[in-house]
Structures are given as structure tokens and as C-alpha cells.
Amino acid sequence: MEDDNEVIEVPEAPPPPPPVDPAVLAEAEAAKDEANKNFKAKHFAAAIEGYSRAIELNPNNAIYYANRAAAHIKLENYGAAVVDAEKATEIDPKYIKGYYRRGDAHFALGKYKLAVKDLRTAAKVAPRDPDLRRKLSECEKEVKRLRFEEALAVPDSEAVSVLETLDLSIYDNIEESYTGPRMQGNAAEGYVLTLEFVTAMLEEFRQQRTIHKRFAFEIIRQAHALFRSLPSLVDVVIPDDKHFTVCGDVHGQFFDLLNIWKINGMPSTDNPYLFNGDFVDRGSFSCEVIFALLAFKLLYPDHLHLTRGNHESKSMNKVYGFDGEVKAKYNGTMVDCFRELFCGLPLAACLNGRVLVLHGGLFSQEGVTLEDIRRIDRFREPPEDGIMCDALWADPSPMPGRTPSKRGVGLSFGSDVTRRFLEANGLELIVRSHEVKEEGYEVEHEGRLITVFSAPNYCDQMGNKGAFVRFNGNDMVPHFTTFAAVPHPDVRPMAYANSYLMGM
């Protein structure tokens, strides 16, 4: 923990670089200006390409690196943003945007102590900057919160299950004023989820109303018990005459989730789905999304599948909005219940023994088998390395082999890694999610790997399409459907997130 009275020294400026041809400088500035236009138009990948071109022409301009760091942050490439921001501060130690960007990236990665250090360094240069002071204050609050939680933490062996000890009787007396849907049964004999209840619940959510806490907790408790019975890798059989749909990140965009079901049909025994993680956070209708998915999982346990994403975790939910949303719409106890529930989610699914579906990607170690994935003890928060971490965080790369992750967590893996993994495990294809794609999907690694992302116009700012992938059991050939965002009520994304993120 940093000393609150730590003296922050601004590094000395390096010696000036050799002069660059004025024509080359002008070309670099033109590339930067074009990148700025793409950034403002929210074409962040194109902006990164433009800033990279400017850097190739003039590698000694701190602004280019800081701007590229900002574009990386928009695409959640926080590791790459840290590297660029560090280069900006190396070139110009008094360029505060370099410290800003690095602080933003560290904060997004949950490295609050490092973020505080960056922001304090920036404050030495610009002590009266109001945005900087706000960010520093928020970051220091997170450091204090972590310190408090660490002081109260108990060993995992002594931790008590909230769901197993939860007394739902305090919610049994349902107020007469409650006009929403009710489950069949009663507290004494047990509650049963029905399609009628789920249909009515979806309509309540459309109208921006919640369901009663008694039924909300019941859904969580029943779903948790179901997940506990499942392996870490679920085998899914798709008959020759049936189809199966895989969706990627939904991220709390409930009205876009409803649109998927409008386009492709509601989940049922004849219309099975797999949702591949990141159900919550960022979008401000995450409660509605997760309750809808859990309810259909309970209705059709063998035909609605859910795999865990990196945002089904304590560290992400605290920062990116889910915790705040649950507390606002229900209560704090439910936050703890969701944490236990998320730790029960399977990590992957294998479709007809031919297609592996997991949220992130492949692994930092060679020789991982499907049996290794089955044996993972997943009932915990995601670790910082290993098979479970990679399954939730890894990304494909155009470069061969294994390289550091642009996110700062997990790794990037090349097409050779994908090919060897598939061949060793008798598989044909990997379907993963985890990354925004402008068309909602992308086919990479010589056709062996698909990324599918199902949150169109992500966070109301990316302008991307959403997509889902449909397989027919007889041939397991992927068929793609893309779709645009639909209107939603006037609640901005990240409405419940940490206020620090509003300035990123």
C-alpha cells in the first residue's frame, strides 16, 4: 500500500531526439489527424491503425502514444494502453495525459494502487485539474475499500455460503401492493417456475419494473443448485434434424436480448441456445438479462446453456455496474448471492464433440485437453493465470505462437496454437466471444476460430452490429445472423458503474 505522504517525483526529460524531416513530420501529423477523426466517429480500431502509422513516421511524439492508449482503452485493450502510456511519459515526463491514460488503464484492470501512483504523478504537474482531482479521489476510495475488505477477509476454508444460509422467510409476506408475476406454489411447499411466470416477468422488465425479491432469490437459489450439478465442460448433443444457436456477450443490453429472441425465436426444447458469458456489467439492464437467462435455464435445463465470462466475477462487477444495479433494484444480500452463482457457471461447452465454445480463448500452456478443462475446480473467483484464467480472458492474435495480452490479463494466441489444440483434441472449430466486432462476428485462424459478440452498439457508443451463430446438427457448419441495436429506455449504459469510468 502506498504511503499517503509518499513524495512523487516527476522524471527528468530525456535528451531531445534527432531532428526529423519536416515532410515526414507533416505526414505523421496527417495520419494523426485522420486517426482523430476515426476516434471521434467511434471507429477505434481504425484510429489505432492511424496512430500506429503516425508513430512509425515519428516515434518521438508523446501525443501519438497517448492518443493510441485512449483508443486501446475504448476497445478494453488495457495492457496495450499501459504500454503506450508508459512510452508517452518516457518521451515527455511532463505530459500529464500519459499518466492519465496509464492511470485509467490500471484502474480498469483493478490495479488501484498503481492507478493512484499515476494520478498523483499527474497531479504534481497539474494540481488544479478538476477531472484529475475527481479521478484521484475515486481511486483513493477504491484503495481504502480494498484495504478494508482485506482486513475483514476470512480464509476460503472458513467462508460460509450465503445461499445455503439465506433465510428467505423474511420475504415470504408478499405485499398486497405487489402486482407483478407470482410463482406457482408457496413458501412451505416450494415454488415452481412456469413459462407463464417467465413470460409475465419479461413484460414486467419491459415496463422497467422488478419482480418481487422472494421470487428473484428463488430463481438464483434454484439456478445455483442446477449449476452445482454440472461439469466445468458441458457436452451438448445436437441431433441431425435439429439446430443450435450460440450468442456472445450481451452485457446488460436487455432490449437487444429480446430482439435476438424476436429474430431467432424464444428459447425452448426445439430452439436451444448457448449464451457465452458476459451477461452483465456495462449495460444498465443487467438484472433483467441475468434473470431472463436464469429463468429459461430453469425451464429448459438441457436446452439453454450458460458459460461463464470474465465479467461474471467479483472484481468486474464492483467496477462495471452490476453490483450497483443489484443494490439499486433489489438489495446488497443479492450481490453476494450472485457472486456464488457466478462461481458455479460452467467454463465451456463442446457441441457434438466437434465445436468448443468458451468465452475467452486458448491456453498459455501447450497440451491442454478437454479432460483438463473438465477437471478444473471452477467454484471460485477467476485466478490471475492458468487454464481457468485463459478460458475467460485470452484473445486470438494474427501473430504466431503465444504473445502478451493486449488486455493485461491472459494471453494472445496465434493460428498455429489453435490448429494444434484442435488436432490434439479431435475438434474442428472454436467459438469464443469477449471482443467487440464491427459486424458482430469475425472468422479467424484459417477458418478454425469464430468470435461472436451479441451486444450491438456496445455501450451506446461503438456503432457495431450484434450477431449470433446457428449450427445444424447434421453438418455443424456455422451460419451467421447480424442485427442492429434497438431502442431502449432512457437509462444510459454504466449508470450504476464506478463514477471514475465516466471520464474514460
Asked if the domains at 22-152 and 234-490 fall in one CATH topology, the answer is no
Query: What's the confidence (pLDDT) of residue 9?
Result: 62
Query: What's the confidence (pLDDT) of residue 152?
Result: 73
Q: Which three cell numbers stand for residue 135?
A: 479521478
Phi-psi region of 192 (alpha: psi -120 to 50; beta: other; left: phi over 0): beta
**What average pLDDT score do residues 241-256 get?**
98
Tell whether the model's pLDDT for residue 482 goes beyond 70: yes
Query: Distance between alpha carbon 458 and the CA centroid of its chain, in Å?
Result: 11
What are the residue boundaries of the structural domains of the chain, listed by start? 22-152, 178-212, 234-490
Tell whether the model's pLDDT for residue 5 goes beyond 70: no
Helix, coil or strand: residue 259: helix
Query: What's the confidence (pLDDT) of residue 311?
Result: 98
Q: How many percent of the chain have pLDDT more than 70?
A: 96
**What average pLDDT score do residues 380-405 get?**
96
Residues in the chain: 504
Query: What's the confidence (pLDDT) of residue 502?
Result: 73
Answer whether CATH 1.10.260.40 is correct for domain 22-152.
no
In words, the CATH class of domain 234-490 is alpha beta
DSSP character string of 100-164: HHHHHHHHHTT-HHHHHHHHHHHHHH-TT-HHHHHHHHHHHHHHHHHHHHHHH---GGG---HHH
Tell whether the model's pLDDT for residue 17 goes beyond 80: no
Tell me how far apart the alpha carbons of residues 283 and 460 are, in angstroms, rounded to a whole number: 9
Q: How many percent of the chain have pLDDT more than 90?
A: 84
pLDDT per residue as tens digits for the range 94-109: 898 999 899 999 999 9
Confidence tier at 146 by pLDDT (50, 70, 90): confident
Tell whether the model's pLDDT for residue 257 goes beyond 80: yes
Q: Among 126-135, 369-378, 474-483, which is the least confidently predicted range?
A: 126-135
Tell whether the model's pLDDT for residue 3 goes beyond 60: no
Query: Bigger pLDDT: 48 or 124?
Result: 48
Tell me how far apart the alpha carbons of residues 144 and 112 are, in angstroms, rounded to a whole number: 10
pLDDT per residue as tens digits for the range 310-334: 999 999 999 999 999 999 999 999 9
Q: Which three cell numbers stand for residue 494?
A: 454504466
**Which residues on adjacent β-strands are paired with residue 449?**
430, 444
Tell whether the model's pLDDT for residue 2 goes beyond 80: no
Residues 6 or more apart whose CB falls under 8 angstroms from that of 465 comprise: 438, 439, 440, 456, 482, 483, 484
Query: What's the confidence (pLDDT) of residue 156?
Result: 67
Tell whether the model's pLDDT for residue 302 goes beyond 90: yes
Tell whether the model's pLDDT for residue 385 goes beyond 70: yes
pLDDT per residue as tens digits for the range 152-209: 777 766 678 899 899 999 999 999 999 999 999 988 889 999 999 999 999 999 999 9
Query: What's the confidence (pLDDT) of residue 158?
Result: 67
pLDDT per residue as tens digits for the range 483-500: 999 999 999 999 999 888
**What average pLDDT score do residues 227-256 get?**
98
Tell me how far apart the alpha carbons of residues 73 and 83 are, in angstroms, rounded to a whole number: 12
Tell whether the model's pLDDT for residue 69 goes beyond 80: yes
Query: What's the confidence (pLDDT) of residue 262?
Result: 98
Tell me how far apart the alpha carbons of residues 149 and 397 are, in angstroms, rounded to a whole number: 37
Confidence tier at 1 by pLDDT (50, 70, 90): very low
pLDDT per residue as tens digits for the range 444-474: 999 999 999 999 999 999 999 999 999 999 9
**What average pLDDT score do residues 407-417 get?**
95
Nearest to 278 by CA among 340, 345, 178: 345
Query: What's the confidence (pLDDT) of residue 155?
Result: 75
Active-site residues: which are they? 311
Query: What's the confidence (pLDDT) of residue 10?
Result: 62
Averaged pLDDT score across all residues of the chain:
94
Query: What's the confidence (pLDDT) of residue 479?
Result: 98
Quote the DSSP letter at residue 14: P
